[in-house]
Chains A and B, each alone.
Chain A
C-alpha cells in the first residue's frame, strides 16, 4: 500500500536536546511538507521541499531544520533553539504537477520536558 509513514508516534525528550522526526513516503511524490499542529490553531507550515536537495522555509521555520537527500525521505530536526517544541507534527506529500492535494502521515506527538 502506498502512503506516508512517520515514526515514532510518540516521542519524549528533555529540554536542550535535538530530536529528529522521520517521514518516509512511497507515493513517488516530488513535494513534501512539515506542519506543526497546536490545539485551536490548525496547521502551520514549517518547511517544504519540491525536489531532492532543495527545501524552503515555511511560516514557522525558526528552531527547525530539514534535509531532503532522497525523494522518499524528509526528516525534520527540532533543535534546542525551538522555544515551544511540544506539539503534534504532521508530514505530508503531494505531486508537483499542480494537483495540489496533500496526503498526510499519521503524525508524531513530541513532548519536551
Chain B
C-alpha cells in the first residue's frame, strides 16, 4: 500500500517569507497526490492535486506543488506567506486503481510570525 511522510511536524516562517512544505510518498505506480489545509477545529480543504501531465501544479490561495518522480516528492510552495496561511497542511496519496484508498501524512503545522 502507498504511504506518505511529512518530515516536518512544525514550521515557523515570517509573514512575507517564502514557504516550502515537504512531502515524500511511497507507491509502486504513478501516484495521485493531494495537498489539503486544515484550520483549527475545521475540516480539510483541497489546495491542489496532481494526477498526470505538467509536474508543476497550481492551486488555490497562491500555492503550488511540484511532483518529482525521481525523488518521490510532492513539495508544496508559496512565494510569500500571509498570516492567514497559519494552519495544518496534509499531503495525501491515492492509489490509481482504488479511489477509496487515500493515505494521509501526519501533517505539518505552519506558524506565521508577524
Q: How many B residues are at the interface, by size bracket? A: 20 to 34
In the complex, the answer to whether B106 meets A56 with C-beta atoms within 8 Å is: no
A103 to chain B, nearest CB (A): 8
Interface of A is mostly: strand
Rounded to whole angstroms, the CA-CA distance of A48 and B100 in the bound complex is 7
A9 to chain B, nearest CB (A): 8
How many A residues touch B, CB cutoff 8 Å? Answer: 28
Task: List 22 A–B pairs whose Cβ atoms lie within 8 Å, in order of A's numbering.
Answer: A6-B43, A40-B106, A42-B90, A42-B107, A43-B90, A43-B104, A48-B100, A50-B100, A56-B100, A90-B43, A92-B44, A94-B99, A96-B99, A99-B99, A100-B34, A101-B49, A102-B46, A104-B44, A104-B45, A105-B43, A106-B43, A107-B42
Residues of chain B at the chain A interface (Cβ within 8 Å): 4, 9, 32, 34, 36, 41-46, 49, 51, 90, 94, 99-100, 102, 104-107
Residues of chain A at the chain B interface (Cβ within 8 Å): 4, 6, 31, 33, 40-43, 45, 48, 50, 56, 88, 90, 92, 94, 96, 98-107, 109
